[in-house]
Amino acid sequence: MSERANEPSTLSERANQPSNVSGELIIEGLSVHYGGVTAVRSVSLRVAAGQSVGLIGANGAGKSSTLRALMALVPRAATAVRFGDVDLMRVRANDMVRHGIGYVPEGRHVFPGLPVEKNLMLGAYAQRWNEQVRDTLAEVYEIFPVLAEMRRRLAGALSGGQQQMLAIGRALMARPRLLLLDEPSMGLSPKLIEDILAVLQRLSREGMSILLVEQNAKLTFEATTECLVMENGEVAMQGASQELRRDPRVRKVYLGL
C-alpha cells in the first residue's frame, strides 16, 4: 500500500468512484418497521468523508436494521439518505457497490464451497481479471496475510476469524469509499479483535470512511472518532468516542466498568 515504492495510491485513494462523489454519508429521519414492530425510529447520522463512526447498542437495539435500511435490504422510510451527490433512497441493494459502498453483513456470509480467492474475486467490482483487480487483490492479501496463505483453501475450511477477514477482504475488493461493518468482532478472540481493530485503523488512516456497528463498545471507541448509542430503535446518546467512553452510564452499561 502506501509504503510500497512507486505505488502511491491506497485502496481508498483509488476507489472506484465517479469524481463528483464527495463521500459524505447523510442519514436523516430513518425508520424501519417490520409489520407492526418499529425497529428503527427516526435515526439521523452523518459520516464525513474519511471519518470513522460507530453505532453501538445492545441486542435488538436496531443497529443491523439501520445498516440494512441504508443498504436498501429492508423497507425503510427516511427524510434523506445520501452519499455524496447520490440519493440512496433511489438505489437498489445490488447497486450500492457501484456507488462506493461496501457492506460486511452480520455473520460473515462467505461461500463455503468456493476457494478463498474465488470468494474475494466475487467482491471485485468488475469481476474480470485485470490489472486493477490484481493490484487490489495483492493489497487485500497484504492487509490479511492469512488469506494469502489460504488462497486455495475452501472458505468453509477457515476458522471463524479467518472467515470474518475474508468477508471484509471481499468488501474491500470493490474499493469502497465507505465501508459498513456489522459486528465484525462477533465470536472472535481478543487477539483477532485487536487484528480487526488494526485493519480498521489502517483503512481509516488511508482515507476510507467507516460506519462500524458493534456490541463491543471498547473496540468501537478505539476504532472511531464519533459514536452513537442506539437503544430501542432510537439514538439515545452521541458524541466524540473519546468523551462517550468516559460517560458514567456508558461505562456502566456498555463497558461493564
Ligand X SMILES: Nc1ncnc2c1ncn2[C@@H]1O[C@H](COP(=O)(O)OP(=O)(O)OP(=O)(O)O)[C@@H](O)[C@H]1O
Which spans of this chain sit near ligand X (rule: CB under 6 A)? 34, 37, 39, 57, 59-65, 106, 215
Residue 222: name the closest of 248, 236, 204, 247 by CA: 204
Cβ atoms of 34 and 88 closer than 8 Å: no
Q: CA-CA-CA-CA torsion for 217, 64, 26, 225, nearest 10 degrees?
A: 10
* In the complex, least distance from residue 233 CB atom to ligand X, rounded to whole angstroms: 7
Strand order in the sheet with 178-182: 101-104, 178-182, 209-214, 52-57, 226-231, 234-240
Task: Look at residue 65 and give the partner it binds from ligand X, Mg ion, none, a contact being a CB closer than 5 to 8 Å depending on partner kind.
Answer: ligand X
- Phi, psi dihedral angles at 154 (to 5 degrees): -70, 140
Task: Look at residue 184 and give the partner it binds from Mg ion, ligand X, none, a contact being a CB closer than 5 to 8 Å depending on partner kind.
Answer: none
Task: Look at residue 37 and give the partner it binds from ligand X, Mg ion, none, a contact being a CB closer than 5 to 8 Å depending on partner kind.
Answer: ligand X
* In the complex, least distance from residue 212 CB atom to ligand X, rounded to whole angstroms: 13
Task: Look at residue 5 and give the partner it binds from ligand X, Mg ion, none, a contact being a CB closer than 5 to 8 Å depending on partner kind.
Answer: none
106 vs 135 by CB, closer to Mg ion: 106
12 vs 64 by CB, closer to Mg ion: 64
* In the complex, least distance from residue 78 CB atom to ligand X, rounded to whole angstroms: 16
Task: Look at residue 59 and give the partner it binds from ligand X, Mg ion, none, a contact being a CB closer than 5 to 8 Å depending on partner kind.
Answer: ligand X
Q: How many Å apart are CA 38 and CA 221, to the nearest integer?
A: 27
137 vs 229 by CB, closer to ligand X: 229
Q: How many Å apart are CA 68 and CA 40, to the nearest integer?
A: 11
For residues 80-109, which are near Mg ion according to CB under 5 A?
106
Distant-in-sequence, close-in-space partners of 120: CB < 8 Å, separation ≥ 6: 137, 140, 147, 166, 169, 170, 173
* In the complex, least distance from residue 25 CB atom to ligand X, rounded to whole angstroms: 18
With binding defined as CB under 5 A, does residue 162 bind Mg ion?
no
63 vs 177 by CB, closer to Mg ion: 63
137-143 contacts at long range (C-beta below 8 A, 24 or more positions apart): 137/173, 139/1, 139/10, 139/11, 139/172, 140/169, 140/172, 140/173, 142/1, 143/1, 143/169, 143/172, 143/199, 143/202
> What track of x and - describes contact with Mg ion for positions 120 through 149 (by CB under 5 A)?
------------------------------
* In the complex, least distance from residue 33 CB atom to ligand X, rounded to whole angstroms: 9
* In the complex, least distance from residue 106 CB atom to Mg ion, rounded to whole angstroms: 5
For residues 14-73, which are near Mg ion according to CB under 5 A?
64
Rg (CA), the chain: 18
* In the complex, least distance from residue 201 CB atom to ligand X, rounded to whole angstroms: 23
